[in-house]
Amino acid sequence: MTKTAERVGAPVPRVPPGTSRRTNWLVPIGLILLALVPVVTGSLRLVELGGGPEIMPDNPRADASPLPIAAHIASALIFTVFGAFQFVPGLRRRPWHRRAGRVLAPLGLVAALSAIWMSVFYAHPEGTDELLVAFRLAFGSAMAVFIVLGVVAIRRRNITAHRAWMTRAFAIGIGAGTQAVVLTVVPLVIPPTETSTALCHAASWVINLAVAEWAIRRRPRG
């Protein structure tokens, strides 16, 4: 008992066993649920590219040059799903975190750089204007830079900076999940245009980065 509790005769509240552990696992579960739509659609596209049945809407870019989009989808899926578990405190203190990071960081770079490549060299589909292309280039480049800075930080044993940069990179990487929500809700209020669609994409990345910055600043140092 604390001294205060002893004086007033009140029992010291106890945290039920396993409560903090359950709370910690809510983060990766929530992140995976957020990414559920792009995970499902991306998986279906990979099946299609691998010779499976054509389930997804026709994508001439994928038919003409399937390798970049396949690399982007596969790397982004693994980076998003397994990257979510990097936020579990218990796993960060185990070899899993380091071993997974050595795989996820390069995959994150593949996802970012392939997105940049497709934005530059793929023919833009209908409904895509130059503003959306500019946003994709900007946020794709930022994701790649954040991953590099995160790797540099951990090599210097700067764990706090490493976590911050990788959190920002993951926030951009999971942007497709937030975009699925925003692009579903906003058109119910505002008629969709090329400009509004581009702004919805950008807003989704900004929302994720804002949440990431909030999490970074409330996280204990060290």
What are 18-33's pLDDT values in tens digits? 445 666 788 889 999 9
Report pTM: 0.84
214 vs 65, higher pLDDT? 214
Answer yes or no: is pLDDT of 58 > 80. no
Nearest residue to 133 (alpha-carbon basis) of 122, 146, 145: 122
Residue 157 region by backbone torsions, left for phi larger than 0, else alpha for psi between -120 and 50, else beta: left
Alpha-carbon torsion 68, 70, 75, 77, what sign? positive
Please answer whether residues 56 and 44 qualify as being in contact, where contact means their C-beta atoms are separated by less than 8 angstroms: yes
pLDDT of res. 221: 59
pLDDT of res. 8: 41
Q: Give the C-alpha distances (Å, rounded to integers) separating 17 from 23, 26, 117, 183.
A: 12, 16, 49, 41
CA angle 169, 101, 28 (to 5 degrees): 65
How far is Cα 119 from Cα 124, in angstroms, rounded to an integer? Answer: 8
The residue with tokens 């280039």 is 137
The least confident of 58-62, 64-68, 81-85 is: 58-62
CA angle 145, 88, 148 (to 5 degrees): 10
Instruction: Count Cβ neighbours within 10 Å for each residue of 88-116 and write b for 16 or more, e otherwise.
Output: beebeeeeebeebbeebbebbbbbbbbbb
Answer yes or no: is pLDDT of 222 > 70. no
Answer yes or no: is pLDDT of 13 > 60. no
Average pLDDT over residues 69-79: 94
pLDDT of res. 203: 97
51 token code pair: 């010779």
Average pLDDT over residues 51-58: 77
130 vs 59, higher pLDDT? 130
Alpha helices in 9-92 (DSSP H): 19-34, 36-49, 60-64, 66-84, 89-92
pLDDT of res. 164: 96
Q: What average pLDDT does the structure give for the chain?
A: 85
pLDDT of res. 144: 98
Q: Give the C-alpha distances (Å, rounded to integers) separating 88 from 20, 132, 150, 158.
A: 11, 33, 18, 19
